[in-house]
Structure 1
Amino acid sequence: MAQIFVSIAAILGGLSVAGGAFAAHALREKISARSLEIFDTGARYQMYHALALLLVAILISRTATPPFTLVASGWMFIVGVALFSGSLYILSLTGIKSLGAIAPLGGLTLMLGWATLAIAAASLKF
Protein backbone atom coordinates (compact mmCIF):
# COMPACT_ATOMS: atom_id res chain seq x y z
CA MET A 1 0.00 0.00 0.00
CA ALA A 2 2.89 2.36 0.77
CA GLN A 3 4.22 2.01 -2.78
CA ILE A 4 0.81 2.77 -4.27
CA PHE A 5 0.39 5.84 -2.06
CA VAL A 6 3.89 7.14 -2.90
CA SER A 7 3.16 6.72 -6.60
CA ILE A 8 -0.18 8.50 -6.36
CA ALA A 9 1.33 11.24 -4.18
CA ALA A 10 4.05 11.81 -6.78
CA ILE A 11 1.48 12.01 -9.57
CA LEU A 12 -0.74 14.40 -7.59
CA GLY A 13 2.24 16.57 -6.67
CA GLY A 14 3.52 16.73 -10.24
CA LEU A 15 0.07 17.50 -11.62
CA SER A 16 -0.35 20.23 -9.01
CA VAL A 17 2.84 21.94 -10.18
CA ALA A 18 1.82 21.52 -13.82
CA GLY A 19 -1.66 22.88 -13.07
CA GLY A 20 -0.24 25.90 -11.26
CA ALA A 21 2.09 26.65 -14.16
CA PHE A 22 -0.74 26.15 -16.66
CA ALA A 23 -2.92 28.59 -14.72
CA ALA A 24 -0.16 31.18 -14.38
CA HIS A 25 0.90 31.11 -18.01
CA ALA A 26 -1.88 29.77 -20.23
CA LEU A 27 -5.05 30.68 -18.35
CA ARG A 28 -4.20 34.15 -17.07
CA GLU A 29 -5.56 35.87 -20.17
CA LYS A 30 -8.38 33.40 -20.85
CA ILE A 31 -10.39 33.23 -17.61
CA SER A 32 -11.48 35.77 -15.02
CA ALA A 33 -9.38 36.65 -12.00
CA ARG A 34 -11.94 34.89 -9.76
CA SER A 35 -11.79 31.72 -11.86
CA LEU A 36 -7.99 31.85 -11.74
CA GLU A 37 -8.17 32.14 -7.95
CA ILE A 38 -10.50 29.11 -7.80
CA PHE A 39 -8.12 27.10 -10.00
CA ASP A 40 -5.18 28.11 -7.79
CA THR A 41 -7.04 26.96 -4.68
CA GLY A 42 -7.54 23.56 -6.26
CA ALA A 43 -3.85 23.27 -7.15
CA ARG A 44 -2.74 24.41 -3.69
CA TYR A 45 -4.95 21.93 -1.84
CA GLN A 46 -3.91 19.18 -4.23
CA MET A 47 -0.25 19.79 -3.33
CA TYR A 48 -0.98 19.92 0.42
CA HIS A 49 -2.71 16.58 0.23
CA ALA A 50 -0.11 15.01 -2.06
CA LEU A 51 2.35 15.73 0.75
CA ALA A 52 -0.09 14.38 3.34
CA LEU A 53 -0.46 11.20 1.28
CA LEU A 54 3.32 10.91 1.15
CA LEU A 55 3.40 11.12 4.95
CA VAL A 56 0.78 8.38 5.18
CA ALA A 57 2.87 6.19 2.85
CA ILE A 58 5.96 6.72 5.00
CA LEU A 59 4.04 5.83 8.15
CA ILE A 60 2.64 2.70 6.49
CA SER A 61 6.12 1.64 5.39
CA ARG A 62 7.41 1.98 8.95
CA THR A 63 4.60 -0.09 10.49
CA ALA A 64 4.50 -3.90 10.36
CA THR A 65 0.70 -3.97 10.40
CA PRO A 66 -0.65 -0.52 9.65
CA PRO A 67 -3.95 0.30 11.31
CA PHE A 68 -7.02 0.43 9.09
CA THR A 69 -7.43 4.12 9.92
CA LEU A 70 -4.00 4.91 8.46
CA VAL A 71 -4.80 3.23 5.15
CA ALA A 72 -8.28 4.79 5.16
CA SER A 73 -6.79 8.26 5.64
CA GLY A 74 -4.68 7.79 2.51
CA TRP A 75 -7.69 6.79 0.44
CA MET A 76 -9.69 9.72 1.84
CA PHE A 77 -6.94 12.11 0.78
CA ILE A 78 -7.03 10.68 -2.75
CA VAL A 79 -10.82 10.81 -3.05
CA GLY A 80 -10.94 14.22 -1.38
CA VAL A 81 -8.44 15.68 -3.85
CA ALA A 82 -10.38 14.24 -6.78
CA LEU A 83 -13.64 15.73 -5.52
CA PHE A 84 -12.36 19.03 -4.11
CA SER A 85 -9.62 20.02 -6.52
CA GLY A 86 -11.24 18.32 -9.49
CA SER A 87 -14.51 20.19 -9.03
CA LEU A 88 -12.65 23.49 -8.60
CA TYR A 89 -10.66 22.91 -11.78
CA ILE A 90 -13.77 22.12 -13.79
CA LEU A 91 -15.72 25.00 -12.22
CA SER A 92 -12.99 27.51 -13.03
CA LEU A 93 -12.65 26.32 -16.62
CA THR A 94 -16.33 25.88 -17.47
CA GLY A 95 -18.18 28.25 -15.16
CA ILE A 96 -20.72 25.53 -14.33
CA LYS A 97 -21.85 26.76 -10.89
CA SER A 98 -23.49 23.47 -9.85
CA LEU A 99 -20.01 21.96 -9.57
CA GLY A 100 -19.49 24.21 -6.56
CA ALA A 101 -21.71 21.78 -4.63
CA ILE A 102 -19.15 18.99 -5.06
CA ALA A 103 -16.24 20.91 -3.53
CA PRO A 104 -17.66 20.81 0.03
CA LEU A 105 -18.00 17.02 -0.21
CA GLY A 106 -14.36 16.85 -1.22
CA GLY A 107 -13.43 19.19 1.62
CA LEU A 108 -15.31 17.00 4.08
CA THR A 109 -13.51 13.94 2.75
CA LEU A 110 -10.16 15.70 3.21
CA MET A 111 -11.09 16.62 6.79
CA LEU A 112 -12.08 13.02 7.47
CA GLY A 113 -8.69 11.97 6.10
CA TRP A 114 -6.99 14.20 8.66
CA ALA A 115 -9.24 12.90 11.44
CA THR A 116 -8.51 9.28 10.61
CA LEU A 117 -4.80 10.10 10.43
CA ALA A 118 -5.04 11.55 13.95
CA ILE A 119 -6.83 8.42 15.16
CA ALA A 120 -4.18 6.24 13.51
CA ALA A 121 -1.38 8.25 15.11
CA ALA A 122 -2.75 7.41 18.55
CA SER A 123 -2.03 3.72 17.91
CA LEU A 124 1.37 4.12 16.21
CA LYS A 125 4.68 3.68 18.02
CA PHE A 126 7.14 6.45 17.22
Structure 2
Amino acid sequence: MHRKLVATGASLAGVAVLLGAFGTHALAGRLGPQALGWWQTAIQYQAWHAIGIFALGLSGPDWTRRPAWLLAAGVLIFATTLYAMALGAPRWLGAVTPVGGLLMIAGWGLLVWQAISSRD
Protein backbone atom coordinates (compact mmCIF):
# COMPACT_ATOMS: atom_id res chain seq x y z
CA MET A 1 0.00 0.00 0.00
CA HIS A 2 1.17 3.51 -0.81
CA ARG A 3 -0.12 5.69 2.01
CA LYS A 4 0.52 9.02 0.28
CA LEU A 5 -1.53 7.94 -2.72
CA VAL A 6 -4.34 6.66 -0.51
CA ALA A 7 -4.32 9.97 1.37
CA THR A 8 -4.21 11.94 -1.90
CA GLY A 9 -7.09 10.00 -3.40
CA ALA A 10 -9.16 10.28 -0.24
CA SER A 11 -8.44 14.02 0.02
CA LEU A 12 -9.38 14.65 -3.59
CA ALA A 13 -12.59 12.64 -3.14
CA GLY A 14 -13.54 14.51 0.03
CA VAL A 15 -12.87 17.87 -1.58
CA ALA A 16 -14.96 16.83 -4.60
CA VAL A 17 -17.92 16.11 -2.30
CA LEU A 18 -17.39 19.42 -0.49
CA LEU A 19 -17.14 21.42 -3.71
CA GLY A 20 -20.08 19.55 -5.22
CA ALA A 21 -22.24 20.49 -2.25
CA PHE A 22 -20.94 24.07 -2.36
CA GLY A 23 -21.79 24.28 -6.05
CA THR A 24 -25.27 22.89 -5.54
CA HIS A 25 -26.19 24.98 -2.51
CA ALA A 26 -24.22 28.20 -2.81
CA LEU A 27 -23.50 28.69 -6.50
CA ALA A 28 -26.53 27.28 -8.33
CA GLY A 29 -28.43 30.57 -8.30
CA ARG A 30 -25.37 32.74 -8.85
CA LEU A 31 -23.61 31.16 -11.83
CA GLY A 32 -24.74 30.93 -15.40
CA PRO A 33 -25.25 27.63 -17.22
CA GLN A 34 -21.75 27.60 -18.76
CA ALA A 35 -20.04 28.24 -15.40
CA LEU A 36 -22.17 25.57 -13.70
CA GLY A 37 -21.23 23.18 -16.49
CA TRP A 38 -17.54 23.85 -15.86
CA TRP A 39 -18.11 23.29 -12.14
CA GLN A 40 -19.89 19.97 -12.73
CA THR A 41 -17.25 18.76 -15.17
CA ALA A 42 -14.52 19.56 -12.64
CA ILE A 43 -16.40 17.71 -9.89
CA GLN A 44 -16.92 14.62 -12.05
CA TYR A 45 -13.32 14.37 -13.24
CA GLN A 46 -11.99 15.03 -9.75
CA ALA A 47 -14.24 12.44 -8.11
CA TRP A 48 -13.61 9.67 -10.63
CA HIS A 49 -9.87 10.20 -10.68
CA ALA A 50 -9.76 10.42 -6.88
CA ILE A 51 -11.27 6.94 -6.74
CA GLY A 52 -8.69 5.71 -9.25
CA ILE A 53 -5.81 7.24 -7.29
CA PHE A 54 -7.15 5.76 -4.05
CA ALA A 55 -7.45 2.32 -5.65
CA LEU A 56 -3.94 2.50 -7.09
CA GLY A 57 -2.62 3.49 -3.69
CA LEU A 58 -4.25 0.41 -2.17
CA SER A 59 -3.14 -1.93 -4.95
CA GLY A 60 0.44 -2.14 -3.78
CA PRO A 61 2.73 -2.68 -6.78
CA ASP A 62 5.38 0.01 -7.14
CA TRP A 63 4.68 0.34 -10.84
CA THR A 64 1.30 1.96 -10.03
CA ARG A 65 2.87 4.99 -8.36
CA ARG A 66 3.92 7.02 -11.41
CA PRO A 67 0.58 6.64 -13.19
CA ALA A 68 -1.27 7.60 -10.00
CA TRP A 69 0.82 10.75 -9.53
CA LEU A 70 0.21 11.71 -13.17
CA LEU A 71 -3.51 11.32 -12.53
CA ALA A 72 -3.26 13.47 -9.40
CA ALA A 73 -1.32 16.23 -11.16
CA GLY A 74 -3.71 16.11 -14.09
CA VAL A 75 -6.86 16.31 -12.02
CA LEU A 76 -5.46 19.17 -9.95
CA ILE A 77 -4.66 21.24 -13.04
CA PHE A 78 -7.82 20.26 -14.93
CA ALA A 79 -10.32 20.74 -12.11
CA THR A 80 -8.68 23.78 -10.56
CA THR A 81 -8.70 25.74 -13.80
CA LEU A 82 -12.37 24.89 -14.37
CA TYR A 83 -13.32 25.85 -10.79
CA ALA A 84 -11.44 29.11 -11.16
CA MET A 85 -13.09 29.99 -14.47
CA ALA A 86 -16.51 29.15 -13.07
CA LEU A 87 -15.85 31.61 -10.25
CA GLY A 88 -14.86 34.38 -12.65
CA ALA A 89 -11.14 33.90 -13.28
CA PRO A 90 -9.89 34.93 -16.72
CA ARG A 91 -10.96 32.71 -19.60
CA TRP A 92 -7.33 32.26 -20.72
CA LEU A 93 -7.12 29.60 -17.98
CA GLY A 94 -9.12 27.47 -20.38
CA ALA A 95 -5.88 27.13 -22.37
CA VAL A 96 -4.26 25.48 -19.34
CA THR A 97 -7.11 23.02 -18.69
CA PRO A 98 -6.08 20.62 -21.50
CA VAL A 99 -2.65 20.23 -19.88
CA GLY A 100 -4.43 18.59 -16.97
CA GLY A 101 -6.40 16.43 -19.36
CA LEU A 102 -3.23 15.33 -21.12
CA LEU A 103 -1.63 14.40 -17.79
CA MET A 104 -4.68 12.29 -16.91
CA ILE A 105 -4.55 10.57 -20.30
CA ALA A 106 -0.82 10.00 -19.84
CA GLY A 107 -1.47 8.51 -16.39
CA TRP A 108 -4.01 6.04 -17.71
CA GLY A 109 -1.81 5.21 -20.70
CA LEU A 110 1.20 4.62 -18.49
CA LEU A 111 -0.91 2.42 -16.24
CA VAL A 112 -1.90 0.30 -19.22
CA TRP A 113 1.71 0.06 -20.34
CA GLN A 114 2.96 -0.80 -16.84
CA ALA A 115 0.24 -3.43 -16.35
CA ILE A 116 1.09 -5.12 -19.64
CA SER A 117 4.84 -5.03 -19.21
CA SER A 118 5.13 -5.63 -15.44
CA ARG A 119 6.66 -8.86 -14.25
CA ASP A 120 4.89 -8.99 -10.86
TM-score of the two chains, using structure 2 as the length reference: 0.93
Structure 2: how far apart are the matches of 1:76 and 1:42? 17
Q: After the TM superposition, list the runs of 4 or more consecutive aligned residues in structure 1 that deviate by more than 4 angstroms.
A: none
CA drift of 1:103 comes to 0.6
1:114 aligns to 2:105 (yes or no): no
Name the counterpart of 1:42.
Answer: 42
Amino acid at match of 1:88: L
Cα deviations by residue, 1:67-86 (Å, 9 ceiling, x for unpaired): 3xx21111101110111000
Among 63, 79, 97, the residue aligned to 1:85: 79
Structure 2: how far apart are the matches of 1:99 and 1:76? 20
Residue segments in structure 1 that go unaligned for 5+ positions in a row: none
Name the counterpart of 2:27.
Answer: 27
Structure 2: how far apart are the matches of 1:107 and 1:54? 19
Name the counterpart of 2:2.
Answer: 2
Structure 2: how far apart are the matches of 1:120 and 1:48? 21
CA drift of 1:110 comes to 0.3
Residue segments in structure 2 that go unaligned for 5+ positions in a row: none
CA drift of 1:22 comes to 0.6
Task: Give the fraction of aligned pairs with identical amino acids, expressed as a percent.
Answer: 31
Structure 1: how far apart are the matches of 2:72 and 2:119? 22
CA drift of 1:30 comes to 1.1
Structure 1: how far apart are the matches of 2:119 and 2:16? 30
Aligned length: 119
Cα deviations by residue, 1:19-47 (Å, 9 ceiling, x for unpaired): 11111110011111110110110011000
Question: What value does the CA root-mean-square deviation take over the aligned residues?
Answer: 1.3
Amino acid at match of 2:79: S
CA drift of 1:120 comes to 1.5
Structure 1: how far apart are the matches of 2:57 and 2:51? 10
Amino acid at match of 1:84: F
